[in-house]
A = this chain, B = another copy of it.
């Protein structure tokens, strides 16, 4: 941590800051510049409150942290990228780019099984389906509940696809963990810290979506919450951030793929449809994500002409198959496979 004093700071003020730091068992190293004094704080222990305290001193200009706030989520702590075993031999983080796909909503068993079969034939490896749906309006449909989990489990049994499903509150975790292979935390809940710890304790792989206005640091700190309860299986998922431009629902921030890979050992998946909200934007952005080094994709597909509960970003089966073919070629450029 570095403390930058104001140009007007007195010797007395500088001494006082130094003594506060030393009082906490840390060392200092002082740089007296032509215009101002800078105090380096030396010590390995993590002191979140010290920075806040020093900023409140009148003659301190600013306090700059040097150490990262997260540890278990950092590549410094885990030099090797983690390869996670999901279920049925399906892995993420290794040479294979993982295709996760599913309908927008689980409506009935027949339709789900039909979609699952077609996804599996086209090259999808994980099925996505939601029993619980946190929604921004209390009047929107919040999901079919446990019945959907049973149907997803049946689809897994029939087609060998492990499944991913979202939880929105702590009381949904126990029943979900009994069925699901991967539990998703949605963007709204990225900083629902209690939920992060509770879902971590279920000891299932967790897919943690980036909040729509979360910095990369906040995202990794939320991953740290899950890792910190002893669950090492965290998958990050980028689905778009807020911007001033109403052209799309959100801005897909693909730069986080190489950035997160530099900062962390955790795998990263991209959900292009969630950001764009339009089906014609999904294939190019899916290709871009894999070209940028994503470990997986989450794609919404529909098997039928009945669109009543499908999002406008949903691909039809033919579009999905064509996309998979192109994704295979792009993944080879990155020395990976699908």
Interface residues of A (CB under 8 A from B): 2, 4, 7, 29, 31-36, 38, 40, 42-44, 46, 48-49, 52-53, 55-57, 64, 66-67, 69-70, 76, 134-141, 168-171, 188-189, 191-195, 197, 211-213, 215-218, 221-222, 224-225, 228, 241-248, 251-259, 262, 275-276, 279-281, 284-285, 287-293, 307-312, 314, 326, 329-330, 332-334
Contact = CB atoms under 8 A, between A and B. Distances in A.
21 contacts: A29-B32, A31-B31, A33-B40, A34-B44, A38-B40, A48-B141, A49-B308, A52-B311, A69-B139, A136-B218, A169-B195, A170-B170, A188-B192, A189-B191, A189-B192, A241-B244, A252-B253, A255-B276, A258-B281, A288-B288, A291-B291
B48 A138 contact: no
B258 A312 contact: no
B34 A42 contact: yes
Nearest to A190: B188
B193 A246 contact: no
Given A35-B67, A43-B34, A291-B284, A48 B137 contact: yes
B259 A248 contact: yes
Nearest to A6: B76
A76 B7 contact: yes
A76 B48 CA distance: 31
B287 A193 contact: no
A281 B64 CA distance: 21
Closest 10 CB pairs of A and B: A213-B213, A169-B194, A291-B291, A31-B40, A288-B288, A288-B292, A287-B291, A242-B244, A188-B191, A56-B312
Nearest to A309: B49
B311 A49 contact: no
A35 B44 contact: yes
Contacts of A281: 255, 258-259
Given A33-B66, A66-B33, A193 B138 contact: yes
A324 to B, nearest CB: 12
Nearest to A36: B66
B136 A246 contact: no
Contact of A137 (B221, B251, B333): B221
A289 B140 CA distance: 34
B326 A56 contact: no
